[in-house]
Amino acid sequence: MKDLLMEIVNYGQDLGAEFVEAREQDSDATVFHIEDGRVESIKQGIESGFAIRVLARGSWGFATVNAQSELREATENAVKMAIITSRRIREPVNLSESEVVEDRVILKPDINPKDIHIEEKLKLFSRLNDYVLNYDKIIRSCTIDYADITGKKWYVNSEGTVIEQDVLYVWSRIFATARKGEVFASNREELGSTKGFGFLKETSAETIGERLAERLIKQIKAKTPKGGSFPVVLGSDVTGTFAHEAFGHLAEADLTISGSVLAKKLGTRIASPLVTIYDDGTIERGFGSFKYDDEGVKSQKTVLLKDGYVVGLMYDREHSAKMQKLENLMVPTEMIAQFNAKPTGNARAEDFRSPPLIRMRNTYIIPRDYNFEELLEDINFGYYLVSFRGGQANLDGTFQVGIQEAYEVVNGELGEPVRNVSISGNTLETLRQVDAVGKDFELRSGRCGKGQVAYVSDGGPPIRVRNLIVGGAD
């Protein structure tokens, strides 16, 4: 495969491209969907394909094919595309420098999902589905999605980088609903690992099902929250969602340069000095961890926010080069020496059909020194928000997040559960309102959509926010 991809890279250069990269992917996947005890769909199969991306006359061209016999034609099409689009671009694309690498990355799964027969996988998750549905009569539905992907991918470029890298993902999402009278509740669990099937062997279906079902029952019995601005403690799950959705996307350099609220804040203090945020592609057991991204750049631990100051962004090679030109305009003079605009290993493609985009990996707030009781003790009345249901964030920094499990905090103690809670506000103002950060740390696995799907983790410790807008409705 190496020789074939190098041949295609050389062919692209012969056609006039200044830069050429070729990716090849082989994957073996099992995907199924279970709904209310019925297996609705199963897909198993092996897939392979190629991606060719070229830079010619300052513009990108991209083509993707399944067959080796079509590679030369695909390369020709990519070069033609780049030349045609180069006539309309305002600013030619440049790439920042990247280390030339030749490497083979081998993964050793705890339990290879390929070694688990499909019948055993279906049996495990069907048992989970049945357990949730039978836990209490108020639980009305349960759906489960499962996927495992194993294989390898190659990356070769015209600068001399050659990487062969194993791929391994095991993922599942469980979603259940309950109703009692006019009260409706929903809850979700998302599980993922890059180590293999072992984590599903370690945790029983009954344990996962009970956790999900008990949340639903609590929410059905819960009352609606008071609306207004209150002190809140965000659980690790919500902390991670906030770090990812409300802040992380703002720090993806393509979105920053396009006008996110961080564009005018680089190098400045925007948050409490207690807040430090990393996007880390190296953390053990992170669902977004890998050694090299889809531009052949080594993954790393990237600090985005340090003691409240914006000190970094997430880059691919193109936007790293753009930012290096813009640094003097966008970063305060006294901070330029501390601001690093080199590629960070955040260029990720969903598969061979897609060109790489800047994507998060494992995004989290680092822990400090408060225990959970200390986070609660200064709150006369507020809320403890345990896990999120979904939400959205905008480039202007505004956000709204739904919460699927929450409790009142009264006189420093946990109180009654509340349901259908939402929080909203401005990311920068919320970060400034953080006045205590816990010592316990958790990561959760999930998926992120940005035109393409990427496997990620987010998390952190519980944190206390002095004032946050809380709302809710039946």
pLDDT (tens digit per residue) in 202-227 = 888 888 999 999 999 999 999 989 88
Q: How many angstroms separate the CA atoms of 450 and 348, rounded? A: 11
Mean per-residue pLDDT of the chain: 93
Residue with tokens 């505004």: 398
Long-range CB pairs of 201-205, under 8 A, 24+ apart, other chains included = 201/111, 205/124, 205/125, 205/127, 205/128, 205/131
Domains annotated for the chain, with CATH where assigned, are 2-221 (3.30.2290.10), 228-472 (no CATH)
- Measured in residues, the chain has a length of 474
Instruction: Tell me the β-bridge partners of 150.
Output: 28, 168
- Model confidence at 259, pLDDT cuts 50, 70, 90, reads confident
- CB-based contact 389:245 (threshold 8 Å): no
Instruction: Look at phi and psi of residue 274 and say left if phi exceeds 0, alpha if psi is from -120 to 50, else beta.
Output: alpha
Mean pLDDT of 110-136: 95
> What are the structure tokens assigned to 443, written together?
């990561």
In this prediction, residue 474 carries a pLDDT of 47
- CB-based contact 289:317 (threshold 8 Å): no
Residue with tokens 């070729």: 22
> What are the structure tokens assigned to 94, written together?
């440049």
Residue with tokens 């092996």: 46
Whether 32 has a pLDDT exceeding 90, the answer reads: yes
In degrees, rounded to 5, the angle at the alpha carbon of residue 153 between the alpha carbons of residues 321 and 66 is: 100
Between the CA atoms of 390, 395, 397 and 403, what dihedral angle is there, to the nearest 10 degrees? 0
Q: Mapping DSSP to helix (H, G, I), strand (E, B) and coil, where does residue 89 land? A: coil
> What are the structure tokens assigned to 389, written together?
């249901």
Mind listing the pLDDT tens digit for each residue in 177-197?
A: 999 998 998 999 999 999 999
β-pairing, 102-105 vs 162-180, is: parallel
> What are the structure tokens assigned to 436, written together?
């205590």
Whether 149 has a pLDDT exceeding 50, the answer reads: yes
In degrees, rounded to 5, the angle at the alpha carbon of residue 287 between the alpha carbons of residues 364 and 356 is: 95
| Radius of gyration of the chain from its Cα atoms, rounded to whole angstroms | 24
Whether 20 has a pLDDT exceeding 90, the answer reads: yes
Mean pLDDT of 96-117: 96
In this prediction, residue 329 carries a pLDDT of 62
Lowest mean pLDDT among 20-29, 165-174, 314-323, 337-346: 337-346
In this prediction, residue 75 carries a pLDDT of 98
β-pairing, 381-393 vs 228-234, is: parallel
In degrees, rounded to 5, the angle at the alpha carbon of residue 175 between the alpha carbons of residues 399 and 137 is: 125
